[in-house]
């Protein structure tokens, strides 16, 4: 079934990365007006030009910059119907080597950024009594992964945040769900993660990939398309009776 988003406006964060860009592209091609944001100005301009949409760079840990992006989106399109919080970072470090600054940065980007965008978009949704929020957690937010304790903690917080908002906003017909992808190939996140595992596990890249693939019942890493398809569904009217869900896109690696 073809999903259409004609007359809908979507705000996508982390849109210079592989998954954020793919979601923005799919929404745009399905009829939505799309506004994108990411940290680096040049990257935002390149993606916006490529997709034919509007965009503005922002540091998601800055409440002032986040508010400016939401304001700009409303100036450009008049409303917002869909918020997709993709922006996030990852790192692999033994717990005894994680610095306070690294811990704080992990939570600032993954959690505070999601909170800030939600805070400034929700009033728009409440006024129209309709809206879709799609947050990004991770398989590691449900079952922790070695060498990633700070990342796992932050992604677990996103799941709890999503569930709390689902209760809080249900009477306004605002759907709040999140995705929990497994290892997704051809993304900057996996590149960073695999490099860390290669270093910390002292294994060649091929062995690292094989080690993780062996744990997946469907026998492969996730593709960007696998993740995008679920995100776009959650943004559509087909998910109107779904809220508070943390959906696994893991090839069976995570089943709860």
Catalytic residue ranges: 151
Strand order in the sheet with 82-85: 54-55, 33-37, 9-13, 82-85, 131-136, 174-181, 246-249
**Which residue in 41, 8, 2 sits closest to 24, CA to CA?**
8
37 near 62, Cβ under 8 Å? Answer: no
User: Which residue is associated with the tokens 């993740």?
Assistant: 227
> What DSSP assignment string belongs to 121-159?
HHHHHHHHT-EEEEEE--GGGTS--TT-HHHHHHHHHHH
The phi, psi pair for 200, rounded to 5°, reads -75, -30
Rounded CA Rg of the chain: 18
Contacts for 145 with CB less than 8 Å, ≥ 6 apart: 139, 151, 152
User: Which residue is associated with the tokens 């893991």?
Assistant: 250
Here the tokens at position 254 are 């995570």
User: Which residue is associated with the tokens 């100036």?
Assistant: 75
């Amino acid at each position: 079934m073809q999903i259409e988003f004609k007359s809908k406006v979507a705000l996508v964060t982390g849109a210079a990365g592989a998954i954020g860009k793919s979601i923005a592209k799919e929404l745009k091609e399905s009829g939505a007006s799309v506004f994108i944001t990411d940290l680096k100005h040049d990257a935002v301009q390149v993606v916006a030009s490529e997709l034919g949409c509007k965009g503005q760079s922002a540091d998601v840990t800055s409440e002032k910059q986040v508010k400016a992006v939401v304001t700009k989106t409303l100036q450009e399109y008049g409303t917002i119907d869909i918020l997709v919080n993709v922006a996030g970072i990852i790192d692999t470090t033994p717990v005894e080597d994680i610095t306070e600054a690294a811990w704080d940065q992990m939570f600032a980007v993954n959690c505070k950024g999601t909170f800030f965008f939600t805070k400034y978009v929700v009033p728009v949704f409440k006024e129209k009594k309709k809206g879709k929020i799609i947050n990004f957690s991770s398989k590691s937010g449900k079952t922790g992964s070695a060498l990633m304790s700070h990342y796992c903690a932050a992604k677990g917080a996103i799941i709890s945040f999503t569930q709390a908002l689902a209760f809080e906003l249900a009477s306004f017909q605002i759907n709040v769900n999140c995705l929990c992808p497994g290892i997704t190939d051809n993304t900057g996140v996996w590149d960073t993660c695999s490099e860390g595992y290669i270093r910390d596990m002292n294994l060649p890249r091929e062995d690292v990939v094989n080690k993780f693939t062996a744990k997946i019942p469907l026998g492969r890493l996730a593709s960007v398309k696998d993740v995008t398809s679920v995100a776009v569904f959650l943004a559509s009217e087909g998910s109107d009776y779904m809220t508070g869900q943390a959906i696994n896109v893991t090839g069976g690696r995570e089943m709860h």
